[in-house]
Amino acid sequence: MMRTMFKRTFAGAMLMGLLIPLLAACGGQAEPQVIRETVVVRETVEPQIIEQTVIVEAPTAEEGATEEGAEEPAASTESYTTPHPILDDLRVRQAIAYCADRSEVAKSVYSFLDDEQREELLMDTFLPKTHWAAAGEDDGITVYPFDPEQGQALLDEAGWTLDEGDTVRMNEAGEPLTLKFTTTNAQFRQTWAAVFEQQLLDNCGIQIIRTHAPGSWWFGGTTGLQRRDFELGAFAWVGETDPKGQTLYACNQIPLPSNSWEGQNYMGWCNETASQAIIAANNTLDRDERIAQYQIFQQEFTKDMPSLPMFNRLEVAAASGNVENYNPDPTEYYTKNIYEWTLTDGGDTVVLGMTQEPASMFTQNESAAVQRIAAYLIGNFGHQGFAFTAADYDYQALALTELPSIENGGAALEAVEVNAGDMVWSVDGDAVELADGVEVINADGETVAFEGDAITMNQLSVTFEYQEGITWEDGEPLKAADFELGNAIECDPEAGTISLQICNSRQEIEYVSDNSYTITYLPGVQWPEYSVYSLYAYPSHQELSDGRTLADVPADEWSSLPEIAEAPLSLGPYRLVEWEKGQRMVFEANPNYYGGEPAIQNVIIQFFEDTNQAVAQLLTGDVDVLGRETLGAGPEVEAVLQEAEEGTDLQVFTLASPTWEHVDINLFTK
């Protein structure tokens, strides 16, 4: 089992020594999403804003912004097909990496960490170092330690020299080595970008002119990143258990006017070897083959340096020393193993503190981390937290007997013949009727267009088998009808489901028994995460206050149904017995939990107005646990760390989040 967590746990005077994507929805297939600055991070170091810094407002239409849907003027030469006069040179890109002391950059926003902890935040590729697909130096990737002498030598070789007494390098034509750096106006980025800027100037004579733009412009659909309006651009991706990456780095994912600016390869980087590898890694179900392809990709990515990974964001969690087996994780919610927690003083109640309250317990309509933390107590009705867990950048079975795979016989890949009129999965990721011109991936992994003759395609089927003896909190056994209802609601747009892509990719579902079902996908579907695309389950037998059973309720009523939104039946270790809005949620041990009786009988989620209040209650012992979603990484963290350093019976965990800051390098100009 791999771990991305680096811990410093303080319990008394003993020093023992980091999160989930901001929210990776279960079963989602979208690429990691750009973080839009919704969290204000208060820093301990004032940002250094120098005269070259420009703070801008969103541009007006006259200044270059294009209204949604407006037609752009035609151009004789397509934008961003001209190599950048400076950044097209690999030596310059590599020099930028060598000249940046990324540990010191991280220190500017996380000054309370020691050197070792900051090193753990640094990344060499687009994956955290402990990810199952991450490649290391032994795997042939190029690493860029802080080495300004190496950076200076590369710049000299590239024709950018620094005369005695000058601070900025020049080329033979007398042009300065000056680059525009664009990012958001969030205080967090103003802080670390100022340090990055000064480092490149002091260490290597590279002049950076910063622009801090509103997130609405930087992440807009017709501005900023999407229109590749930058030279150096900083933002963050939210990583996931599955690496994905195809829309970020493949050659056919470069936004251009000719493709209506579609794709997320904002650098314009096209390395055919890397592109083929990232596509191959996302089109095979063999993990060993995926690892091999991701390794090839990372070798090319680090060699070409189209994007400089800066650091994982930091988040911190804390718990009383009285709580045993509390184990926050980078890719899972901390209540994942709450049934294993114990209290050293023999108590029977644990209090979790939160500054945000779930809007609903209906998972289809509520995706906040606080909802998931609470939902894990009652089983979450189907996917992550009940059927499986996603700890340590990987998946493990919970209610499932095992994760189905081709290797263990739980999944099968069969070559089938398809003809005109058959429903298939297209290369664009859509369920379509096979007709002339429709492009699909055949059984040999080739993209082909249908021209009337039969095509042989791969068809995936997956069988999910659950442990015996699983019951609802009222003692009613889990049964096939519950999975049927779960699938009906999950795949009904009236229930509020954000994406129906997974649902649309299924050809049929066979309910083999009350605790087993087989999903057969359309020919061409090759979900790399097929082993965790299980069904939701809802108690089809549950009688409602109006006399109906849950199975009789139309999907459009579910979000307002009290039995779903406020008091759902539990499949997990606890059941929800009281919800005093704005104050607390109370859970009791579920006597019918299939995993046995948890050691802690009662769990209370207490809501607070702000983090300072929650921290104060933690330090007085009135709260036992503050998760990373509450504690964050602001000044309150320093108070907790200081308290722990002074010998308080407190456990503090510093977590390297899968959310990672990076600087993209645009290889082309308008």
Model pLDDT, residue 382: 60
As beta bridge partners, residue 15 has: 10
For residue 446, how many other CB atoms are within 10 A of its CB? 9
Q: With pLDDT > 90 as the criterion, what percentage of the chain qualifies?
A: 74
- For 596-617, the pLDDT digits (tens) are 999 999 999 999 999 999 999 9
Check residue 400 and report its DSSP letter.
B
CB 572 within 8 A of CB 374: no
3-state helix, strand, coil in the chain (%, to 5): 30, 25, 50
Provide the pLDDT for residue 381: 62
- In this structure, of 46-60, 190-204, 215-229, 387-401, the range with the lowest mean pLDDT score is 46-60
CA-to-CA distance for 548 and 44, rounded, in angstroms?
A: 56
Greatest alpha-carbon span in the chain: 87
**pLDDT class of 663 with cuts at 50, 70, 90:** very high
CA angle (365 as vertex; 334, 470 as ends), nearest 5 = 55
Q: In this predicted model, what pLDDT tens digit does every residue of 493-538 receive, in sequence order?
A: 888 777 789 999 999 999 999 999 999 999 999 999 999 999 999 9
pTM of the model: 0.80
Q: Does 466 have pLDDT greater than 80?
A: yes
**8 A C-beta contact, residue 625 and residue 318:** yes
Cα three-residue angle 129-208-98, rounded to 5 degrees: 35
Walk across the sheet containing 54-55 and list its strands.
54-55, 207-213, 178-184, 232-238, 650-665, 307-320, 625-626, 349-354, 602-607, 584-589, 574-580
The per-residue pLDDT for 115 is 92
The count of C-alpha atoms lying within 13 angstroms of the C-alpha of 467, restricted to the half-sphere facing its C-beta, is 17
Give dist(CA 446, CA 442) in Å, integer: 5
Q: Could you report the per-residue pLDDT of 568-585, keeping only the tens digit for each? A: 999 999 999 999 999 999
- Give residue 428's pLDDT: 83
Mean pLDDT of the chain: 87
pLDDT in tens, 157-206: 999 999 999 999 999 999 999 999 999 999 999 999 999 999 999 999 99
pLDDT of residue 228: 96
Q: How confident is the model at residue 45 (pLDDT cuts 50, 70, 90)?
A: very low
The total of other beta-carbon atoms located within 10 Å of residue 649's CB is 16
Q: What pLDDT score was predicted for residue 638? A: 84
Domains and CATH numbers, the chain: 10-26+48-55+78-313+661-666 (3.10.105.10), 314-386+564-656 (3.40.190.10), 400-532 (3.90.76)
Provide φ and ψ at 353, rounded to 5°: -100, 140
Q: Per-residue confidence at 442, pLDDT binned at 50, 70, 90?
A: very high
> Token pair 């058959």 is at which residue?
422
Q: Which pLDDT value is given to residue 645? A: 82
**For residues 401-415, average pLDDT:** 96
The dihedral of CA 259, 265, 268, 274: what is its sign?
negative
Confidence of residue 37 (pLDDT cuts 50, 70, 90): very low
pLDDT of 429 strictly over 90 = no
Q: What is the pLDDT of residue 77?
A: 66
Mind listing the pLDDT tens digit for each residue in 226-266? 999 999 999 999 888 899 999 999 999 999 999 999 999 99
